[in-house]
Amino acid sequence: MTELRSAVSRLRRRLAAHPGEFADRTIAEEELAAVAAMAADGIPEIPGLRRSLLLIAGAIGSVSALSAELREVRRAVDLFGGPMRGQG
């Protein structure tokens, strides 16, 4: 849980400091807030956590300046059950 909270916090800070605007910035900010809330409440619901991760990745995936922090969030989410494969 600590890794998830830390990774989300870092990405939120980097996103807030990122000077550029992009179409889905609000989505990324809202989903990061949702993940932070899940992490603060205890063990998050895995499907909800993964859904938020997909939305965050889709929203900021093209912003290379945030890629390292996004990878950290993904790794932290994967700790709750490993990466999902063959889904979708």
Each residue's pLDDT tens digit, 19-59? 988 889 999 999 999 999 999 988 788 999 999 999 999 99
The predicted structure's pLDDT at residue 82? 59
Each residue's pLDDT tens digit, 67-81? 999 999 999 999 987
The predicted structure's pLDDT at residue 81? 78
| CB contact at 8 A, 18 and 66 | yes
| CB contact at 8 A, 3 and 69 | no
In whole angstroms, give the CA distance from residue 60 to residue 85. Answer: 21
The predicted structure's pLDDT at residue 87? 45
The predicted structure's pLDDT at residue 88? 39
In whole angstroms, give the CA distance from residue 22 to residue 26. Answer: 9
